[in-house]
Amino acid sequence: MARTKVAITLEDKTLAEVDRLVALQLFPNRSRAIQEAVDEKLGRVSRNRLARECAKLDPAYEKAMAEEGLSSDSAQWLEY
């Protein structure tokens, strides 16, 4: 995967914590620690967005749509 170098500004205490985690060998370097933190945050944002969109759905309507036509179609299904 392509990578691009960027400059970021962190609070001193945040950078100290990143350095501590690197020193404990939880990450091989600062870049990897920050990359994983950003990836994790982006994943969380994406999941939260999905949850917000799902909350907008009407459960009764969704169930009716899912079940629409099942009773008539089920007679055509093969027996297993």
pLDDT in tens, 4-47: 999 999 999 999 999 999 999 999 999 999 999 999 999 888 88
Instruction: Using a cut of 0.85, tell me whether the model's pTM lies above it.
Output: no
| pLDDT at 34 (0 to 100) | 97
Q: Which residue has the higher pLDDT, 69 or 3?
A: 3
The pLDDT, as a whole number, for residue 49 is: 81
Please provide the distance, in angstroms rounded to a whole number, between the alpha carbons at the two ends of the chain: 45
Q: Is residue 56 part of a domain?
A: yes
In a domain, 26, yes or no: yes
Decide if 32 is inside a domain: yes
- The reply to whether 52 falls in a domain is yes
Tell whether 22 is covered by a domain: yes
Q: Flag whether 57 is in a domain.
A: yes
Q: What is the pLDDT of residue 67?
A: 77
Number of domains in the chain: 1
Give the whole-angstrom CA distance, residue 10 versus residue 26: 19
At 48-80, the pLDDT tens digits run: 887 788 778 888 887 887 777 666 666 677 777
Domain contains 2: no
Whether 75 maps to a domain, the answer reads no
Q: What SS3 state is found at 32?
A: helix
Query: Which range marks the domain in which residue 61 is found?
Result: 12-66
